[in-house]
Structure 1
Amino acid sequence: MECGWTSICLKDLISYLPDGILVSILSRLEIEQAARTSALARRWRYLWTFTSSLIFKFCDWRIVDHEDKLFGLKCRQFVDWVNHILKFHRGMIIDEFSIQFCLDDNIFKSDIDGWINFAFRKRVKRLKFNFRCTWTNGNWNYPLTAHILHYHRLDSLTSLYLCHVDVTREVLEYILFVCPLLEELSILHSRSLFWDFKDSTKETKIRRPKHLHKSLKVLELNGFIGCKADLQIASYILGSTVSLQEIIIDPSHPNKWAPEDPDTQQLARMRARQHLETRLPFGTQLVLR
């Protein structure tokens, strides 16, 4: 007597699920894996283009062979691949858009501009750009300008992580002003904020916040040296938020290949504690790394 379970097990039960559930499953896969499902069957051909999670990783910079003569070609291929995926994406919104890419010059600036425009057109919730490149001098940061942000509504953003992205104080103020749902903000290795020793004694005027930010919960300041500009930026953000739970101060040098000075780092922590601890809103914790 033949078992009825055999015929049931041979059926493609997954394909009978609604499109929304299948897209939700694909959104939990890496984009390469999700794209490969287009070969499964006709119905699967375009499902991956509706994924709500787009995470791209060029490589692990710790194992990159920067002397590889084909490295530049590999960079170009990665950028073209990202552009190709974004061109075919059909979803109306995305929950997460993340790119980890070894950026060392401005030849891909127009491509990155396109990635930012794409993310905000899709009403992104969590945005992460990590352009760290540890084996070079890192003389170029991608400049995030208010001009490119003005073209989009940013009120869907809940988490923003920017590494080796040049963010000015004006852009920082603008982000806080137009992102009412922002809960996490991390800005690391920004040339215009938190680590120019030449301007460590420069007094910078920052406007008082016009509106209080009601959603920001976590703020991380990397490359903090305790200069007046650092303290003013931290004070500005503390004075413009009402829900901040944690402010993280990291005095480590943004360029990891540079020698660390324990005395300088300790002095930065002392300045942070001295100037910020008494200004912390109720319920906000100061974390010194």
Structure 2
Amino acid sequence: MDYFSYLPEAVILIIISFLPFRDAVRTSMLSRRWRHYWHAARNIDLDEKFFVRHGDSDENIALQRMEYMHFINHWMGIFREPEVRTFRVVFSSIAPGSAYVSDMQRCVVFAAGKCLKPIALDLDFSSPYWDVQNLNQNPQTIIQLPFIEAHATLESLQLSACRFDFLQCNNFDALNNVHLGWIEVPGYTLNKFITMCPSLETLSLKRCWNVRDMIISAQRLKVLVIDKCMEPESITVEAPLLTTFKYYGLSIYMRMDYHKNMEEAVFDYGLQSEVADEGDGEMLYNLLLEIFSVRVLTICSYMLQVLPMCEEPLSLKPKLENMRHLILKTQLHINEYYGISFFLNSCPRLEILEIDLAPKRILTVKVKGFKGTTDEMVVLRYLLKFGFVSRSLFVDFSKEKGANDVDMESNVQRQPSKVDTVGDCISLSSKYTHNHPEN
């Protein structure tokens, strides 16, 4: 029996208002009576994937996008509700001069208008084909989010490839979740914007550029994610309630106040191919001291190779007593062994050791004080045989004198087997310095 048929229209509209948008639209096919009930939907989700199948031909995709835009214009024409709960738009790859720019801009203006007042606003115009790893390419963002009217209830703001002048607004008292991706966010703008969000609990920055000096000062912030942002010169984190911190990108100067509530941290410098600064080891060591209450920690190959360069290469003091789960993103390369030992010695109560063997870059190998001893030659041969991703290997001879007061380089040259090994090192260095595909 269809019990919904006995419900008054007012009750049906309330039920519709809580449904996901796609399900609300589908109710229009139930019967003639239900044809227009979906207009009461208040969780608006205008995702192009509901219309566009990216595996189709270019001609079909063009027709599907026309249908998608026609639906958006139709919805804006019939929407009469006083406000919505959530408003989400996903439309990828809007190029300059596209016929859809004006229509999509009108949709964004409609979303930011007084009539909607969404609790959550999500505008995503990024492309799945953009290269996240290439920090030298910043796509042009066409769509502009205008000035937001007084939205005392706005709790979540997610913008991808959508420009917005954050300094125009000062009414983000309820905002607790912010995600910014693929847009220019100058550091001073970001810092000012954070001060305008006293309730901010989650902040995620993905592939933003021109960030420069970032000062993340938020008293209620609990989750902070910085993912492959371009041109940061320094990051300062002042968030006493921070429980989760994740960083992906190049090695830069980073300072964090003591975080006694930290539960999970990720330090992934997978894009870094060489030591950025001689003080990197000390900086990373000091970061660990500020988060030593952490329970789950993810460490990358770069950190494993650089940490042994600090003054305390054996273990962290004090140790990571709360650590239970350690994730090592490593190739188990010889250059990483001391770093692996460092963390195993620093986590006396470790319960789970997870080793992620995903490909990572190995840094430039520099051998200083080379004397040509048997042990040294064994190590060099090992690096030549198994250093598949090494970019370069340099040998610097010791300044000490060998037998008969002859310098070390001359001593090695007198032994053909050693000359061949060192020659191979020079060839390896030349090969990876000039011909490596990542250079």
**Rg larger in 1 or in 2?**
2
Q: Secondary structure at the match of 1:242?
A: coil
- Higher normalized contact order (CA 8 Å, seq sep 6+, divided by chain length): 1
Q: Secondary structure at the match of 1:267?
A: coil
The answer to whether structure 1 residue 48 and structure 2 residue 38 are counterparts is yes
User: Cα deviation per residue 1:50-85 (whole Å; 9 max; x = unaligned)?
Assistant: 111111221289961475233233222211111112
Q: Which residue of 2 aligns with 1:35?
A: 25
Distance 1:111 1:135, change over 3 A: same
Give the conservation status (yes or no) of the 8 Å contact 1:131–1:163. yes
Q: 5 Å matches for 1:62-211? A: 64-65=54-55, 68-106=58-96, 107=98, 108-120=100-112, 121-135=115-129, 139-145=139-145, 148-149=146-147, 152-167=149-164, 171-175=165-169, 177-190=170-183, 192-193=184-185, 209=192
- Cα deviation, residue 250, structure 1: 1.1
Instruction: Give the Cα–Cα distance (whole angstroms) in 2 for the partners of residues 61 and 247 of structure 1.
Output: 34
- Cα deviation, residue 149, structure 1: 1.2
User: Cα deviation per residue 1:156-190 (whole Å; 9 max; x = unaligned)?
Assistant: 211111112234xxx13345x22211110001111
Kindly report structure 1 stretches of 4+ aligned residues shifted beyond 6 Å: 60-63
User: Cα deviation per residue 1:208-239 (whole Å; 9 max; x = unaligned)?
Assistant: 749652211100011268xxx5253x31xx33
**Identity percentage of aligned residues:** 18
The answer to whether structure 1 residue 278 and structure 2 residue 272 are counterparts is no
Give the conservation status (yes or no) of the 8 Å contact 2:211–2:229. no
**Equivalent in 220, 225, 228 of residue 251 of structure 1:** 228
Give the conservation status (yes or no) of the 8 Å contact 2:152–2:172. yes
What's the TM-score once normalised by structure 2's chain length? 0.47
The size of the alignment, in residue pairs, is: 240
Aligned letter for 1:109? Answer: V
Instruction: Give the Cα–Cα distance (whole angstroms) in 1 for the partners of residues 107 and 171 of structure 2.
Output: 20
Q: Which residue of 2 aligns with 1:6?
A: none
Greater strand content: 2
Instruction: Give the Cα–Cα distance (whole angstroms) in 2 for the partners of residues 47 and 40 of structure 1.
Output: 10
Instruction: Give the Cα–Cα distance (whole angstroms) in 2 for the partners of residues 48 and 209 of structure 1.
Output: 40
Q: Secondary structure at the match of 1:69?
A: helix
Q: 5 Å matches for 1:11-22? A: 12-22=2-12
Instruction: Give the Cα–Cα distance (whole angstroms) in 1 for the partners of residues 51 and 72 of structure 2.
Output: 18
- Cα deviation, residue 32, structure 1: 4.4
Instruction: Give the Cα–Cα distance (whole angstroms) in 2 for the partners of residues 208 and 38 of structure 1.
Output: 46
* Structure 2: unaligned runs, 5 residues or longer: 132-137, 231-247, 269-439
Aligned letter for 2:128? Answer: T
**Equivalent in 199, 211, 222 of residue 230 of structure 1:** 211
* Structure 1: unaligned runs, 5 residues or longer: 1-9, 195-203, 254-264
Aligned letter for 2:206? Answer: N
Give the conservation status (yes or no) of the 8 Å contact 1:132–1:164. yes
- Cα deviation, residue 248, structure 1: 1.0
Give the conservation status (yes or no) of the 8 Å contact 2:182–2:208. no
**Equivalent in 230, 255, 267 of residue 250 of structure 2:** 267
Distance 1:284 1:165, change over 3 A: farther
Aligned letter for 2:221? Answer: L
- Cα deviation, residue 100, structure 1: 1.7
Aligned letter for 2:172? Answer: C
